[in-house]
Structure 1
Amino acid sequence: MMHVCFNGQMIAENTPVFNADNRGFRYGDGVFETIKVSKERIPLIDFHFERLITSLQLLKIQHSYTKELLVQWIMRLCQLNQCKDSARVRLAAFRNAIGHAEIIIEAQPVKSIDIQTWSQGFSLTIYPYARKSRDVFANLKTANFLPYVMAGFYAVEKGFDDCIVLNDDNKICDSSKANIFMIRDNEFYTPALHQGCINGVMRRYLIDALKELNYVVHQEEIVEEDLVSADELFLTNAVKGIMPVNTFKGKQYNNSITSGIYERLIIPLFA
């Protein structure tokens, strides 16, 4: 039997944990983190915890959590669910009736990435039916994730692996499940946070790591034509690390630089 963690208590995953008047359910009044556990550790825990606490503060949700406490809950849950070697963890925090945070944590086993499948790359398209705002909440992973949910459905419906979400100025924001990078003339580009993208922990890690390797990384406005003219494209998230893009708007991309970055920065991170 799989378990979940509710406010530190380990319970069966089919146990009811909140009422119909729950604010997270009613209003999307909360945030979440998607976390990779690898070899009994959380590689990017500092970034995850900082983003979680910053988000709760911005939403004025009171809490008393420490990083050490949350790590303890996550690892206990992974041990119960027999996935402490490789797991996808979802930590959701929502506002209760008196304004304090409550937390639900899920943990499921995740398979190691198959390099042969990975190297084939991902296909992308544009989601045409929504535009992401660039307000003060745009960089948060909130429980109100509707544009990304619908973009994900659209990708499946149209036969693509993922779908790009545009902001309210028709610039590139991110994808339904990842941040996006492009490579041109051996320099890296990614939408700036003021363009409305999620402040992804893998995005943050990669920007810092690339700069340490003396690569130039630009954070700026990016349009569809920039992606088409790029040498390489790739997606990033906390669970899969880097995902190379093989096709967008009819263009085929190679992933020679992306593959090298994956081997140099992602494989050791999860080792």
Structure 2
Amino acid sequence: MATPHDKVFFGNGIVDAQDAKLGVATSAVLYGLSVYTVFPVHGSSTTRTAFRLPDHYQRLVESCKIIGIDTFASEWTYERFVDAVREVVAVNDPQDEVYVRATVHVDESIPGTRVRGLHTTVSIFLYDAAPIVPQDGMRLKTSVWRRIPDNAIPSRAKVNGAYVNSVLAKQDAIDSGFDDCIFLDINGHVCELSAANIFLVRNGVLITPDATNDILDGINRRTILTLAGEEGIEVQERTVDLTELYIADEVFVSGTSAGVAPVHEIDGRAVGSRETGPMTAVLRERHQAVLAGDRTHGWVTML
């Protein structure tokens, strides 16, 4: 299990990880009323880069707006956010790739089930980069749990409390001997995994559920779509039926903590030849290059 590096940004500055605490009566603890984002930082003391930092900041702003947190955007400019990221990365001085998790916590005590005008605290911590899914071929199970719909708890907002949905689904998959789950929406259409977006390849076309199918519109998902376009690959963002996955030539997933990982089995059915497919391999290589600091797209921020 991952553990935070020794120093954490919490509130207004750097503290020891053990001292970054929220009260048991805060909305963040009582109701899971926090939003977050995770992004990778590559390099060492001499040169470090963060991947798509403006997009991750914007996701925090948008997640706050969706659920009604109205104090973050006015108090935290992008420049302040970058300064805090630089500060916590510098003080921990990682010598290898790390993930950085930034969270906006509603830390008002016992305010009831409301959100407007409540005080927030920002935390930012580092942990060692380790993928959350196998990288050499995953086995997936269609979940017995349905994805939370947009008109209940919107998936496009990364709300901490909403991840109970993901925990239920992934734990069921693990208990059943699989690596992860596939969420379906209330109409039985494919959404995503517990914490990663899903893609399939059929007859040379790259297909993925569109952003209105109760998915997180992932930043790495957008990255894959851009890279696929540059490779001349036809892309379709649309509603996907579960049985399309069963007959796909390739299936893979993407996410900050998932990377680009091939799927070799779904519900006991082999995907293709149970090997990493050529399109998956190409997009994985391209994805790894941009994460490592390729500046072609302007996606990296120097820290």
Normalization by structure 1: what TM-score? Answer: 0.90
Alignment of 1:206-225 (within 5 A): 206-225=224-243
SS in 1 for 2:262: strand
State how far apart, in whole Å, the 1-side matches of 2:95 and 2:124 are.
Answer: 14
SS in 2 for 1:89: strand
- Whether the 8 Å CA contact 2:223–2:287 is kept in 1: the answer is no
SS in 2 for 1:77: helix
SS in 1 for 2:51: coil
Runs ≥4 in structure 1, deviation > 3 angstroms? Answer: none
Question: CA RMSD for the aligned pairs?
Answer: 2.1
SS in 1 for 2:140: strand
1:251 is matched with: 270
Could you say which structure has the greater relative contact order, defined with CA pairs below 8 angstroms and 6 or more residues apart? 2
2:257 is matched with: 239
SS in 1 for 2:58: helix
Relative to its length, the structure with more strand (as a share) is 1
Normalization by structure 2: what TM-score? Answer: 0.81
Alignment of 1:114-193 (within 5 A): 118=135, 120-135=136-151, 137-144=154-161, 145-193=163-211
- Whether the 8 Å CA contact 1:191–1:221 is kept in 2: the answer is yes
- In the TM superposition, what is the alpha-carbon distance from 1:172 to its structure 2 partner? 0.8
- In the TM superposition, what is the alpha-carbon distance from 1:20 to its structure 2 partner? 1.6
2:106 is matched with: 95
Any unmatched runs of 5+ in structure 2? Answer: 109-116, 294-303
- Whether the 8 Å CA contact 1:134–1:168 is kept in 2: the answer is no
1:67 is matched with: 78
State how far apart, in whole Å, the 2-side matches of 1:89 and 1:99 are.
Answer: 25
CA deviation string 1:101-154 (max 9, x = no partner): 3211121122599xxx73x21111111034421327221111111111122222
2:35 is matched with: 31
- Whether the 8 Å CA contact 2:131–2:257 is kept in 1: the answer is no
Q: Answer yes or no: is 1:13 the counterpart of 2:13.
A: no
* Farther-moved stretch of structure 1 (142-151 vs 53-62): 53-62
State how far apart, in whole Å, the 2-side matches of 1:125 and 1:15 are.
Answer: 39
CA deviation string 1:53-100 (max 9, x = no partner): 111122221222122322222232233333264111111112243424
Report how many aligned residue pairs link the two structures. Answer: 267
- Whether the 8 Å CA contact 1:190–1:219 is kept in 2: the answer is yes
1:3 is matched with: 7
- In the TM superposition, what is the alpha-carbon distance from 1:228 to its structure 2 partner? 0.7
- Whether the 8 Å CA contact 1:31–1:55 is kept in 2: the answer is yes
Q: What letter matches 2:58 in structure 1?
A: E
State how far apart, in whole Å, the 2-side matches of 1:130 and 1:268 are.
Answer: 33
Any unmatched runs of 5+ in structure 1? Answer: none
State how far apart, in whole Å, the 1-side matches of 2:131 and 2:21 are.
Answer: 31
CA deviation string 1:176-221 (max 9, x = no partner): 1200011111111111111101111101121122223332211111
Residues 1:52 and 1:112: Cα distance change in structure 2 (over 3 Å): closer
- Whether the 8 Å CA contact 2:140–2:178 is kept in 1: the answer is yes
Q: What letter matches 2:160 in structure 1?
A: A
- In the TM superposition, what is the alpha-carbon distance from 1:26 to its structure 2 partner? 1.0
State how far apart, in whole Å, the 2-side matches of 1:18 and 1:264 are.
Answer: 40
- Whether the 8 Å CA contact 1:182–1:234 is kept in 2: the answer is yes
Q: Which of 113, 122, 127 is matched with 1:108 structurally?
A: 127
Percent identity of paired positions between Structure 1 and Structure 2: 23
SS in 2 for 1:76: helix
